[in-house]
Structure 1
């Protein structure tokens, strides 16, 4: 399967989960390459913003920024090698992230079955944008879906970032949590609208401030807290940003 490349190998690392309902728990992250979306503020643009693609990104304003050479930032890794690399870590929580992991479900199922053959106690979280339908087998194998529907601030048309049938299906799964990044009041209005339209339970909504530094997170945190108190949503920080900043592999 195609993974993100970090230095000379696949982007597989042992750290703390930094976001969502499992924040603070030790976890092994496996970052897949490829994504069906192209958010302008994406902090993992190396998984999709390849040379020759037309997508725009906020980093374009930096004269030093260049689109990525796909061969330099991706690596093909057999599922059994992923199993061996993950099993080498003293942790039974695994986060399948990306990019968009649901683009490679069959390969992930091989990884999941391989690790559970070693230890049935393995727990799997999947981070997804909520636009791809999980297969019945994939849905059954995963313990937790961390769903992050994209808002208008992503720079994409609604028809690309919101797929009603898929989102309705995922909402019906009690294993799914919904994480939204908010910057301003228009984001909050959009989140409220999505929650009403798709009947997302307030107790499964997490609201997170936007930011790639602790200072940027703090700038939005107070207003985010106020909306959490009003709607019964859960406040979600970005622990990895506070601990390590905007850095890969942690």
Structure 2
């Protein structure tokens, strides 16, 4: 499978979950490369913003930023190799993230089977963008889907990112949470419209401020927390940004 490269190896690391309903939980992250969406504020742009691609990113205006050379940011490993790395951390909560992990669905099913064959109590989270429906085997294998459905603020065309039938299917699984990245008040209206169209349960919604620095988060977090309270939905901060900043491998 194609994983994000970090240094000389794969971007597989032991940390605390920084977002969503499991925030603060120790977990091993396995970051897959490649994505079918290309959000302008994405903080893992090394998984898709490759040389020769046409997509824009807000870092384009940062001096020295360039699209990534694939060989510099992708590493290939077998499910067996990934399983061995994951076992080494001694933590049985695993977050499959990306990029878009469902682009590697068959290989991830092999990985989860290998780990569960150890006879230990593994817990698998999958972070997905809500534009692809997992197959039945994946729905059964994943303990928790962290669905980050994209809004207009992502810069992604609506035809690519807005998939009501997928969101309904994930909601029906009973183990999905739906997290939305919020920048401005208008984003709340868009979320509520999507809830009306899809029937997403309000008690499974999580709203999170967009930002890669504490200052950016703080500009949104205060008013967004109040809106979450009034709407009766969960608020999520970005714990890893507050603890370690905009870094990879944390």
Fold shared per TM-score above 0.5: yes
Alignment of 1:27-176 (within 5 A): 27-176=27-176
Q: Is the 8 Å Cα contact of residues 14 and 27 (structure 1) preserved in structure 2?
A: yes
| Deviant stretches of 4+, over 4 Å | none
Cα deviations by residue, 1:161-217 (Å, 9 ceiling, x for unpaired): 012221221121210000011111111110111111111111100011111111211
1:17 equivalent in alignment to 2:17: yes
SS of the residue aligned with 1:118? Answer: coil
Provide the C-alpha distance between the structure 2 equivalents of 1:206 and 1:214, rounded to a whole number of angstroms. Answer: 19
Contact 1:171 1:198 in 2 (8 A): no
The offset of 1:157, in angstroms, is: 1.4
Q: How does 1:3-14 map to 2 (within 5 A)?
A: 3-14=3-14
Deviation at 1:3, TM superposition (A): 0.3
**Aligned residue in 2 for 1:225:** 225
Distance (whole Å) between structure 1 residues aligned to residue 147 and residue 187 of structure 2: 17
Q: Contact 2:37–2:161 (CA<8 Å) still a contact in 1? A: yes
Alignment partners' CA distance in 1, 2:119 and 2:96: 17
Task: Single out whichever of 223-232 and 1-10 deviates more from structure 2.
Answer: 223-232
SS where residue 65 of structure 2 aligns? coil
TM-score (norm 1): 0.98
Question: Could you list the runs of 5+ residues in structure 2 that have no partner in the other structure?
Answer: none
Q: SS of 2:117's equivalent? A: helix
- Give the superposed CA RMSD: 0.8
Whole-angstrom CA distance in 1 between matches of 2:221 and 2:163: 29
- What is residue 194 of structure 1 aligned with on the other side? 194
SS of the residue aligned with 1:206?
Answer: strand
Deviates more, 1:154-163 or 1:13-22: 154-163
Mapped partners of 2:94, 2:168: distance in 1: 26
- Cα deviation for residue 133 of structure 1 reads 1.1
- Equivalent residue pairs, number: 250
SS in 1 for 2:4: strand
Residues 16-46 of structure 1: per-residue CA shift (max 9 Å, x gap): 0000100000000000000000001100000
